[in-house]
Amino acid sequence: MADVTLTRFAYLDEATIGVLEADDFTCFTLENPWLENQVNISCIPEGEYKCDPFDGNKYKGVIEITDVVDRSAILFHAGNYPRETQGCILVGSAYDLSAPSVSYSKNTLAELIEKLGREFELEIRSSRAILD
């Protein structure tokens, strides 16, 4: 099982941007801004999580981040803009800070699953000093 680290580095009004790294895989992430872990509008707290395969009605073949305090159905799934996430983590091969987004999300998610599988340990941490 791969160990994966998500380091958040840009805390914007509309979104949080980070970098996800594991072994030979790297991509960028887009999440909601930090709004005190409020359901559907905030990114999740920093910490260590287990990720498992998830197949739901809307999202199939994706990854669920489990055991998030006071939250459920937090997924890694494809999407490019803050409006396309309700607390989940979107992935992409590039990012834009001026109009917060990630790009090539579907391909990046497929590559993430191919390289890391859908079951892994995730550490989410902050690197606020990079852009503050």
Residues 38-73: tens digit of each pLDDT: 999 999 999 999 999 999 999 999 999 999 999 999
What is the block-wise mean pLDDT of the chain (132 residues), using blocks of 10 residues? Answer: 88 97 96 97 97 94 96 97 97 97 98 96 83 44
Arithmetic mean of pLDDT over the chain:
94
pTM, two decimals, is 0.94
Say if CB 92 and CB 28 are below 8 A apart. Answer: yes
